[in-house]
Structure 1
Amino acid sequence: MTVTDEQIQALAATAKPFSLALLHWGPERTMDGADAIELEHQRRMVSLRADGVIAILCPVLSDDVAGVAIMTVPAEEAAEIMAGDPCVRAGMIRVEVRPCLGFPGDALPV
């Protein structure tokens, strides 16, 4: 499919601000009690998704990257939210938050 300049411009005009949270495994990933802490992290992330704070949640199957979340709040607020994560507080995960643009209506295929 050939995409025209007009199609690119039309899509770009619909872009909205989001935040991208990149979660990386930290040095305490295997600390004593890590499984219980990770379960609380998962509960919190799924709750944030249910509340609409996380639009897309993608756990990553990797030894260095833990996951990616596209968040519906500004980057500063997203960083504050993620700073309260149980795995982040325990040093199991470190988070980078970046402002990004997304296209409302985009979704993962079923």
Structure 2
Amino acid sequence: MGTTVTDEQIQDLVKTAQPFSLLILRWGPRRAQDGADAIELEHQRRMVSLRADGVIAVLCPILDDAMAGTAIMTVPPDRAREIIADDPCVRAEMMHSEVYPCLGFPGDSLPG
């Protein structure tokens, strides 16, 4: 860490914080069930659609045997839970979901 940040800079940034929801998806016990590839493709289609609609601001599939992915959602946690409860992989018990309230800062983004 080479950049020095002042207390004032921290306070100025904190004032810009906006509420989001953090979605965490973990692989479930039925990950390898019959038809899993087709179910996962529908999950992917749905997640990319939610991203295109602005419901998901950042979508991050995770390349791990325990974790399936994470996303920053632009809706309140209760709405995020409703949305993900209807996900094909969650309904099929291929994935389990967790949703947490979080804060984000306008202008943050992934490098291109």
Measured against the shorter chain, the TM-score band is: over 0.9
- Poorly superposed stretches of 4+, deviation over 4 Å: none
Question: Matched residue of 2:33: which SS?
Answer: coil
Unaligned runs of 5+ in 2: none
2:37 to 25, 35, 38: 35
The separation in 2 between residues aligned to 1:98 and 1:104, in whole angstroms, is 19
The aligned counterpart of 1:77 is 79
Once superposed, what is the RMSD of the aligned Cα atoms? 0.3
Whole-Å separation in 2 of the counterparts to 1:22 and 1:73: 15
Structure 1's unaligned 5+ residue stretches are: none
For the residues of structure 1 that align with 2:107 and 2:19, how far apart are their CA atoms?
Answer: 13
Alignment of 1:1-110 (within 5 A): 1-110=3-112
SS at match of 1:73: coil
TM-score, normalised to structure 2's length?
0.98
Instruction: Name the amino acid aligned to 1:54.
Output: I
Count of paired positions: 110
TM-score for both structures, normalised by structure 1: 0.99
